[in-house]
Structure 1
Amino acid sequence: MKVINLDSLQNQPVEFNGKNVSGVSIRWLIKKEDGAPNFAMRYFEMQPHTEIPPHSHPWEHEIFILDGECEITAGNITKHVSKNSAVFIEPNIEHSYKNNSDKLLKFLCIIPHT
């Protein structure tokens, strides 16, 4: 067993196509190097009025909203999600996140190792 405290990890920038996504940070809570053979757990923060641009990849992922609210678009469906919501994003579906609120968004994202 391994226990990792979120506060012991530093925020890292989120990158897409070699560029930092302004106002969005990530902390890798659990990863392969921690002995987790199948999945990684990541903690994201999105500042107010920021977005993670549309993207897709060949793996699924699960999101759990810890605090705040946002719009998640997957394919041609957009849903407003808020604290305590769980979201499943299918593989190979273009998706994006928008924090249109005035509050910090915090969420967990679970992905398989790639």
Structure 2
Amino acid sequence: MDYHISNISKVDRGEVQIKGSKGSYIQWLITREHGAEYAVRKFTLDPKGIIPMHTHKYQETVIITKGKCKVCVGDKVFNLKEGDYIFINSQVKHAILNEEESLEFFCIINYTDDMSIKPLDEDCTSRLP
């Protein structure tokens, strides 16, 4: 395919399928099916929504477009807000915890030979101030 044009409102939204996720939704905007070597995804998290600690082989860049959240990466916790972004390398454990308002962010990932996600039995909220 030479190009693809659409609107986010036309893309199916599904629940994030990582064990322990709550109030978190994903839309796959650009994928291999469009001929891309990367994927662009939009996430929406309800107030107090969570994507729990996990790892995967692919790299990702998360760009916050609405709201505020805490991102646990490795053994650190960062507060991110609209306009902030973070790069997370392959196999680095991470989680996203929404605050009081709806959270929206885009996530760009590369395709690897293994796209599986490994949930971790680890609660990063114990590190929160």
Larger Rg: 2
1:95 aligned onto 2:97: no
Aligned to 1:58: 57
- Aligned counterparts, 1:20-59, within 5 A: 21-36=21-36, 38-59=37-58
Pairs aligned (count): 110
CA deviations 1:38-72 (Å, max 9, x no partner) are 10000000000111110011221001001001000
Q: Whose strand fraction is larger, Structure 1's or Structure 2's?
A: 1
- TM-score scaled by structure 1? 0.91
Q: Aligned letter for 1:113? A: Y
Aligned to 2:8: 6
Aligned-residue CA RMSD (Å): 1.2
Secondary structure, aligned partner of 1:7 = helix
Secondary structure, aligned partner of 1:56 = strand
Secondary structure, aligned partner of 2:33 = helix
Aligned to 1:105: 103
- TM-score scaled by structure 2? 0.81
Structure 1 stretches of 5 or more lacking a match? none
How many percent identity over aligned positions?
A: 29
Distance in 2 between the 1:85 and 1:30 partners? 22
